[in-house]
Amino acid sequence: MKILVAEDDPTTRRMILKTLSTLDQQVLETDNGACAWEIYQRERPEIVITDWLMPGMDGLELVRRICESNEGCTLKPYILMLTAKNEAADLKIGFDQGASEFISKPFRPIELIARLKVGISNQKLARELERARRLSEQQALTDSLTGLNNRRALLKLLRVDEDRTLRGRQPLSVILTDVDHFKSVNDDFGHNTGDCVLQVVSDALRAGVRSGDHLGRWGGEEFLILLPNTDLIQAAEVAERCRTLLARQQIQTEDSRTMRISASFGVASANGVNRPDVMELVSQADRALYWAKEAGRNRVKIYVANADSKRRRA
């Protein structure tokens, strides 16, 4: 853990550093408030010990800036003000600006150590909580079987890209894919083989998409690929590459038979002319996927507006 010490009096600073040396933490020091602010921004120490009256910038302003720069963050630094100012009114001002703790000068090393130990363990706990929060957030957005984005994550991504597409007038494409005859895989070979198929499909799709594309499991045996800044033709190429990669896969069943699988793909795109909201875009891709199934599966179909009515007329 990094500790920043800002104190202009050399004797006091030396005493602080000597006291800190028992804690086995990385210590940064300065005798100037403005330098302390620079060091803070560069190093982001978890603990700050600051004097009040210093050249460059006073401790109160330093505390104010540090707290302002951490607004909205879950991990905030522990700030200890070490100062000769110890009137109740001073303490109130300091706490109001965001100081976590006060020690008055001249300080007793044992008191500084005790307060810092509390600060360090608070910071460690906060760090662990943050890590756990991120992990659970990650898990809430990940499909446990395939490790891909789950439907919730995809919906989030769709909204982000919808905003970006509308603002930047860039094309946005969606590919929806469904494993052919998946129900019979489960029925004939069991659910373990079914799960294995879904993993093989997700690996093939991972290999087929480009680095900026978002791939996820939409539900059951359906997968969705979101392709930002990609037109219909480019998206159809990605879909075709995924289809080919998947059709090459061989899967060993539990009773040692070899099975081949395929998937059908529907592609839809939003651009200057066709600008539906993202859920409508997904419906269009789903429509094209239905056409791919209808035409015999293991193929890519693109969504063409009015195709349904043309078919009805034909």
Residues designated catalytic: 221
- For Mg ion, the closer CB: 55 or 220: 55
Q: Which two tokens stand for residue 162?
A: 């919808």
Q: How many residues at the interface with Mg ion, by CB under 5 A? A: 4
- For Mg ion, the closer CB: 34 or 251: 34
> Interface mask (CB under 5 A) for Mg ion, residues 11-40, using x and -?
------------------------------
Shortest distance in whole angstroms from residue 60 CB to Mg ion: 12
Find all residues with CB under 8 Å of 36, minimum gap 6, and list them.
4, 6, 30, 48, 50, 54, 56, 57, 62
Shortest distance in whole angstroms from residue 48 CB to Mg ion: 15
Tell me: does residue 84 bind Mg ion (CB under 5 A).
Answer: no
Tell me: does residue 161 bind Mg ion (CB under 5 A).
Answer: no
Ranges within 209-228 binding Mg ion (CB under 5 A): none
Shortest distance in whole angstroms from residue 106 CB to Mg ion: 13
**ω into 106 cis (within 30 of 0):** yes
Question: Pick from 21, 41, 43, 53: which binds Mg ion (CB under 5 A)?
Answer: 53
- For Mg ion, the closer CB: 80 or 158: 80
Question: Pick from 29, 51, 143, 161: which binds Mg ion (CB under 5 A)?
Answer: 51
Tell me: does residue 8 bind Mg ion (CB under 5 A).
Answer: yes
The span of 4-12, 70-78, 100-108, 284-292 binding Mg ion (CB under 5 A) equals 4-12
Shortest distance in whole angstroms from residue 61 CB to Mg ion: 13
- For Mg ion, the closer CB: 75 or 84: 84
Binding site for Mg ion (CB under 5 A): 8, 51, 53-54
